[in-house]
Structures are given as structure tokens and as C-alpha cells.
Amino acid sequence: MNYTLDFTPVIDGLPNLLWACLGTFTLAICGMLLAIVIGIGGVILRQSPFKPLRWLVIGFVELIRNTPFLVQIFFIYFALPLAGIRLDPTPTAIIALGINGGAYAIEIIRGGVQSISKGQMEAGLALGLHKAQVFRLIILKPALRAIYPSLTSQFILLTLTTSIASAISAYELTSVSQRIESDSFRSFEVYFTVTAFYLVISWVMMRIFALFSSRYFSYPIR
Amino acid sequence: MNQTANSGNSTEPMISLSGVGKWYGAFQALDNINMSVAKGEKIVLCGPSGSGKSTLIRCINHLEAYQKGDIHVGGIMLGHGSKTIDAVRREVGMVFQQFNLFPHLTVLQNCMLAPMRSLGLEKAQAEDRARTLLERVKISEQAEKYPAQLSGGQQQRVAIARALCMRPKAMLFDEPTSALDPEMVKEVLDTMIALAEEGMTMICVTHEMGFARQVADRVIFMASGAIVEEAPPAEFFSNPKHERTRKFLGEILGRH
């Protein structure tokens, strides 16, 4: 109980920590963009009339959602080099986050697409549009709007999952703070600060999501 | 554009169905439908629910596949390949019971989307066309609004304008007033009557018998997936030949 708080190492390391926050942001944003692409692409393939393609997507989703993220990132970082694919920690982390988030995004977005009434597809087809055009121009936006809250909470989770990338020493907040902690042994001060930083990062993410929503999903419904 | 040349032949019907049959598994939804609609002709299709009238018009633009028979639209044989299906869909407009406007697009954008993406019109051209047609259905002042901000009747008029923006040769109406509050039925029917007076070829599935009397060249009565009776409205209403028609008319006219 006679522990004296000493934030000096944290203050000295502040520039490093702030840069590391930017690293975390980069991982999160890039991972999310990749997850969106995988999510939408996966939903399109999942609806393909070609059965093996559908099975491929189902298999991918099951594989990713039923294995730990840490193992997935280790697999890309340590196992793939044996197959000749060697990536730096940061690209590895982005790919792992994108693949992991993408698998969840597929299921979430698919729910959104299913929630759109069949009449929308029929109206598009009756106007002479192709199925792909109908999906892209008519179905996608209302579908994304319908599941936007679930998708954003999944993406907040993805943002926090970036901390696991410290296991392969990607440049982000947790790994940099671990270094400061192991040099100074000021565990409480370091993790207290890092916790606050993660809170701020999540809050900023939520602001970005809300801003996006107010820009793109502002049309009235009912 | 060679399709336009074909339909210039006035002896050829705008829409013709011969021996069309459709099954849902073992259930026969359409039974040997033969029907021919001349250019400018207005047909009202009626019948009890489940009689196949909606299924029938949905086959004409291939929203429903059929297993037997042939359908020709504007000189194009509606095959099962996507090329002819798309060609037919560009020639035939459809209006749905539930309007099916696109909620994320304004009224104007709803009307411009398909002319730009399907016909390849320039934006200015599509907008011009959309505004003209919105004017025609008397709703031009709502052009910048979203569907959810309109009443049901207004939405259905926009849906009619949206279909007309493709400059279709024929229009299919699938119970266009059934989802409307009673006070909005008239504005939609008036729009359809105006369209009929301009010479549009129309097939309407509807229970609005007043509309049938006023506009239809022929009334076709369906039951159990088959055409039971067809006649000009005066004859159809005053002197129905079949027992099923009489029973149906008794029920539907007794209500009003």
C-alpha cells in the first residue's frame, strides 16, 4: 500500500505512445476497409448460383469464426513464410484483422440483405436492370443501413482486437506500452494511461461511424 | 432498335401468350393460358385470390418463370435467356401493389435510375424525362422528396412515372390500389385512366370494377389458374356466362 504513483516514464514515453495510437488507428481503419470488402464480396459469392462458391464462403466463415484470432495471426506471420509468403508485422496484422472482421461482416451484411423486401429486387429487375446492378444500386445501401449498428459494434471490437497484434510486435499501442512497462516496471501507470487511450480511440471511432451514418443513411424511413 | 421495327407491324399483337403453363411443384398455377393483347388495348384481369392473375402478368416480364408455352412481347419472343428477358423488361413497365419505390433515392432519382443504368441515357436527358413524367402524374413538386415522405397514393403515382420513364410499349399493373387507403384510390385510378386515354397498352389486375367499366376493352376472369371468361365490360357485367363469374361478381359488387 505504500506504492507511489510515478507517471514520469509515461510522460517521457508520451510521444511514442501517441504515435502508437496512430498505429492502432491505421491497423483498425485498414482492417475495417478490408473487412468491408470481404464482407460485401462474401455476401455476393454466398448468393452465387454456383454451389462450390457458396460452400467456399460458408467454409471460410466457419473456419474464421471458430478459431482464435491469436492463432490466425500467428498462422499468417509464422506459418505462411514456410510457404514462401513473408510479410511484415503491420501488413500481417491488417490482413488478419480484415479476414477476421470480414468473416463476421459477411454474416451481418447477409442478414441485412435478407431483410430487404423481395419487391425491391423485383422492381429493379422489372425496370430492366441486371441482378448485379440491382444489388449494387438498390439493395446494398438499405441493407447496410439496416445492420449498421451491429456492423459498427463489430468494428469497435475489431479496433480493440488490434491489441493482439502486439503478439507479433506490430506497431500499435499495446506493444509500445509493453516496451515502456518492461523498461520502467510502472505497470499501473502505463496500463492506466493505455486504457484511457483505448477509450478515446473507441470514442473517436464511434464518432466517425456516426458521422458516416448521418451523411449516407440520412434518408427518411417511414 | 430492331425490336421497334418489328412492333410496327400492326397486325401483330403487342403481347401474346399461347399455351402458357406454370407449376409450383405439383400445384398448377397457370393452366394453358392463351391470350392476345393488341396495341393500345386495355385489359382488366380479375378473379378470386389465388386464381393466378398476378402470376400471369408476372410471367409476361419473367419475374416468374413458366414451364410451358410461349410469350411474345412487342415482337420479342420471351425466351429463358437473360438477353431477351432484359429486352422485354425494357419494353414493359410494371406497377406493384406495394409501390416498391427505392427508399434511399429521391422521387427524381427513383425515376432516373433505370433510364440511365439500363437505357444508357445521359443524366440531363434522364432528368428531363423524369420531370416531364412526374408533371404528368401531377407530382412534380415532390421531386426532391424521399418515398417515405409521401402518402401511399403519391408513392404509387411516382411508381407509375418511374415505369413510364423507360418509355414502355405496355404497362402491367399488379393490384395497384389494393394497398392504398380508400381516399387515395381515386388519384391513382385517375392517373391510370389518363394513361389509358393516351393509348397505352395496359393489363391491369384489379378489383376496381368501376375502372374496368370505364377503361377496359376486355375483362378477363380467371379462376384456378385458367381463363374462365372474357368479354367487353358491358357484356361481362350485365351478362356473365359462367356460374363462377356470376358468383365472383356477386361477391365483389355486393361489397360496394
Of residues A114 and B11, the one with the higher pLDDT is A114
Selection from B252, B255, B222 nearest residue B237 by Cα: B252
Q: Give the residues across from B70 on adjacent strands.
A: B18
CB atoms within 10 A of CB A133: 18
Q: CA of A121, closest CA in chain B: separation in Å?
A: 9
**Tens-place pLDDT, residues A15-28:** 999 999 999 999 99
**Tens-place pLDDT, residues A113-127:** 999 999 999 999 999
**Tens-place pLDDT, residues B160-177:** 999 999 999 999 999 999
Q: How far apart are CA A88 and CA B127, in angstroms?
A: 51
Q: How far apart are CA B164 and CA B95, in angstroms?
A: 10
Residue of B nearest to A138 (CA): B102
Quick one: CA dihedral B145, B99, B69, B72, positive or negative? negative
pLDDT band for position B79 (50/70/90)? confident
Residue A205 has pLDDT above 50, yes or no: yes
- In this prediction, residue A1 carries a pLDDT of 63
B55 CB burial (10 A radius; 0-12, 13-18, 19+): buried
Mean per-residue pLDDT, A146-157: 97
Residue B253 has pLDDT above 90, yes or no: no
Cβ-defined contact of B96 to A127 (cutoff 8 Å): no
Residue A166 has pLDDT above 50, yes or no: yes
Selection from B190, B188, B108 nearest residue B147 by Cα: B108
Mean per-residue pLDDT, B145-151: 97
Chain B contact probe: residue of A118, A127, A135, A138 with most B CBs at under 10 A: A127
Alpha helices for chain B (secondary structure H): 2-7, 53-60, 82-91, 107-117, 123-136, 152-164, 182-197, 209-215, 233-238, 243-255
Mean predicted lDDT score pLDDT of chain A: 95
Residue of A nearest to B59 (CA): A126
Mean per-residue pLDDT, B109-138: 97
pLDDT band for position B255 (50/70/90)? low
Cβ-defined contact of B100 to A137 (cutoff 8 Å): no
Any residues with CB less than 8 A from the CB of A28 and at least 6 apart, and which? A97, A155, A158, A159, A162, A201, A205
Count of all residues that appear for chain B in the document: 256
Q: How far apart are CA A196 and CA B60, in angstroms?
A: 63
B117: contact with A, CB 8 A cutoff: yes
Cβ-defined contact of B89 to A123 (cutoff 8 Å): no
Please list every residue in chain A whose beta carbon sits closer than 8 Å to the beta carbon of residue B118: 127-129, 133
Please list every residue in chain B whose beta carbon sits closer than 8 Å to the beta carbon of residue A119: 96, 98, 100
Mean per-residue pLDDT, A46-50: 92
Cβ-defined contact of A129 to B114 (cutoff 8 Å): yes
Question: Domain segments of chain A: what residues?
Answer: 14-216
Count of all residues that appear for chain A in the document: 222
Q: CA of B137, closest CA in chain A: separation in Å?
A: 18
Which CA distances in Å does B44 have to A6, A113, B69, B117, B171?
Answer: 86, 35, 22, 31, 12
Residue of B nearest to A216 (CA): B104
**Tens-place pLDDT, residues A61-93:** 999 999 999 999 999 999 998 988 899 999 999
Cell of A46: 454466398
**Tens-place pLDDT, residues A89-108:** 999 999 999 999 999 999 99
Contact by Cβ (8 Å): B206, B173: yes
**Tens-place pLDDT, residues B187-234:** 999 999 999 999 999 999 999 999 999 999 999 999 999 999 999 999
Mean per-residue pLDDT, B59-83: 89
User: Hey, what CATH class is A14-216 in?
Assistant: mainly alpha
Cβ-defined contact of B118 to A145 (cutoff 8 Å): no
Q: How far apart are CA B205 and CA B179, in angstroms?
A: 13
Phi and psi (nearest 5°) for B34?
A: -120, 130
- In this prediction, residue B8 carries a pLDDT of 46
The percentage of residues in chain A with a pLDDT greater than 90, rounded to a whole number, is 89
Residue B3 has pLDDT above 60, yes or no: no
Residue B5 has pLDDT above 70, yes or no: no
CB pairs under 8 A between A and B: 69
Mean per-residue pLDDT, B50-60: 95
Cell of A63: 473456419
Cβ-defined contact of A133 to B117 (cutoff 8 Å): yes
B49: contact with A, CB 8 A cutoff: no
The beta-carbon neighbor of A119 closest among B61, B100, B118 is B100
A136: contact with B, CB 8 A cutoff: no
- In this prediction, residue B98 carries a pLDDT of 96
DSSP, collapsed to helix, strand or coil, labels residue A70 as helix
Cβ-defined contact of A128 to B114 (cutoff 8 Å): yes
Cell of B90: 425494357
